[in-house]
Amino acid sequence: MKWIERSKLPHDTPWWVDPAQEAFFITINCRNRHLNQLAHPEIWKGLREAIEFREQRGDWKWSVVLAMPDHFHGIVTFPKTFYLRKNLSDWKRWTTRHHGIEWQTDFFEHRLRSSENASVTADYIRQNPVRAGLVTQAKDWPYRRDWRDV
């Protein structure tokens, strides 16, 4: 299959938005969308540890994260300063170096404009493995961290 190079996506937040007060829905795809790179216990453990390390450092706060076999979803806020592109790029670089994950260049983000929108998006994330036929109930998917359950 021929590799198609994508153009860089803009990740600029409008000037009137205070990014530290916003939540973002993030999707990061693996380079090969039909290869299971993420849904393995040891890979998931490494992804979680890297997320939690950066949370403790104050870089970000995730309310829900979920790894599908070939992509990653989550809702994130940036409590101190807003460096969405840098934070995600650093995390992707680290997970590539330490766990061999081959990510696509860039990522997709969508600013959630209300708590209702965030709730609907979190439910969408939780149901992703059910829609894919990987489990019958969202709570059975082992590759997620959800603060609703903590």
Residue in this structure with the two tokens 């994130």, named with its chain if needed: 76
Cα gap 31→103, rounded to integer Å: 5
Residue in 59, 88, 58, 62 with CA at minimum distance from that of residue 75: 62
Across the range 15-28, mean pLDDT stands at: 76
**pLDDT at position 150:** 36
Split into its structural domains, the chain has a count of 1
| Count of CA atoms in the C-beta half-sphere (13 A) of 76 | 27
Average pLDDT in the chain: 87
Q: What is the CATH number for 29?
A: 3.30.70.1290
**pLDDT at position 11:** 52
Question: What pTM was computed for the model?
Answer: 0.83
Residue in 146, 148, 2, 132 with CA at minimum distance from that of residue 71: 132
**pLDDT at position 14:** 58
Across the range 25-46, mean pLDDT stands at: 96
| Count of CA atoms in the C-beta half-sphere (13 A) of 92 | 20
Which two structure tokens, joined as six digits, stand for 150? 């903590």
Residue in 2, 67, 70, 1 with CA at minimum distance from that of residue 35: 70
Grouping H, G, I as helix, E, B as strand and the rest as coil, residue 142 is: coil
Does 15 or 74 have the greater pLDDT score?
A: 74
142 is a domain residue:
no
Residues 118-145 have pLDDT tens digits of: 899 999 999 999 999 999 999 999 999 9
Residue in this structure with the two tokens 């969405």, named with its chain if needed: 84
Q: CB under 8 Å to 127, separation ≥6 — which residues? A: 138
147 is a domain residue:
no
150 is a domain residue:
no
- pLDDT higher than threshold 60 for residue 4: no
**pLDDT at position 7:** 55
149 is a domain residue:
no
- Pairing mode, strands 71-77 and 108-112: unpaired
Share above pLDDT 70 across residues of the chain, in percent, rounded to a whole number: 82
Structural domain containing residue 69: 19-136
Confidence bin at 6 (pLDDT 50/70/90): low
13 is a domain residue:
no
Confidence bin at 83 (pLDDT 50/70/90): confident
Which two structure tokens, joined as six digits, stand for 128? 């992703």
**pLDDT at position 144:** 96
